[in-house]
Amino acid sequence: MSKILVLQGPNLNLLGTREPSIYGSQTLADIQADIDKLCRARGHKALHFQSNAEHELVNAIQNAKQDNIEFIVINAAALTHTSVALRDALSAVGIAFIECHLSNVYSREAFRHHSYLADIAIGVISGFGAQSYELALIAAFAHLEQSDP
Ligand code: CA2
């Protein structure tokens, strides 16, 4: 059983309440429940954290090491495009992670095309709505089961 930390950045607490044409109609709680189900079915455990504050996400990443987290799925939201602090925290803990986005950031404004996290991630999944998290988990399971068969 591996522990997978699922981090959600600023404004993702609003999912399902606004801009459904971009971000879908599922709430964050709906998405988290689906993630829990998928993880349980594979014998893993998901832990969830959402924050609108950059430093709280940095703290969650730092604490992940002591909490024996083996994998991180992160939708850093707007902080993806701005945060050297999140990059440094992910780099410092050295836990494998996938960057995940609901929307296709490459079909949107140019400022969303750059990520401070992508090049140190295992990979990036973007544009599949809530299914992006499922796809990220499939890759996470493969990574975990490959390193600990
Ligand atoms: O597509 C994604 O998942 C994003 O990470 C979402 C971020 C955006 O800044 C990134 O470029 C791409 C924005 C999250 C805002 O979430 C909302 C949810 C519902 C209503 C309004 C905003």
d(CA 145, CA 35): 17
Ligand 1 neighbourhood includes 19 CB (under 6 angstroms): yes
Helix (H, G, I), strand (E, B) or coil at 46: strand
| Distance separating alpha carbons of residues 139 and 23, to the nearest angstrom | 22
Residue of the nearest CA to atom 22 in ligand 1?
A: 11
Residue 23: pLDDT above 70?
Answer: yes
Q: Return all residues near 88 (Cβ < 8 A) that are at least 6 apart.
A: none
* CB atoms inside a 10 Å sphere around CB 122: 15
pLDDT band at 148 (very low <50, low <70, confident <90, very high): low
Helix boundaries (H) for 42-130: 54-66, 84-93
Q: How far apart are CA 43 and CA 128, in angstroms?
A: 25
Cα 99 from Cα 74, distance rounded (Å) = 5
Whether the predicted pLDDT of 149 surpasses 70: no
Class of the domain covering 3-147: alpha beta
Q: Which of 118, 91, 89 is nearest to 106 (CA)?
A: 118
Mean pLDDT calculated for residue range 58-71: 98
Query: Taking the model in full, what pTM does it have?
Result: 0.97
Query: Rounded distance, CA 127 to CA 69, Å?
Result: 26
Calculate what percentage of the chain has a pLDDT beyond 70.
Answer: 99
The share of the chain scoring above pLDDT 90, in percent, equals 92
pLDDT at 120: 98
Give the residue, by CA position, lying nearest to ligand 1 atom 10: 77
Instruction: Say how many Å lie between the CA of residue 114 and the centre of ligand 1.
Output: 15
Residue 95 — very low, low, confident or very high, per pLDDT cuts 50/70/90? very high
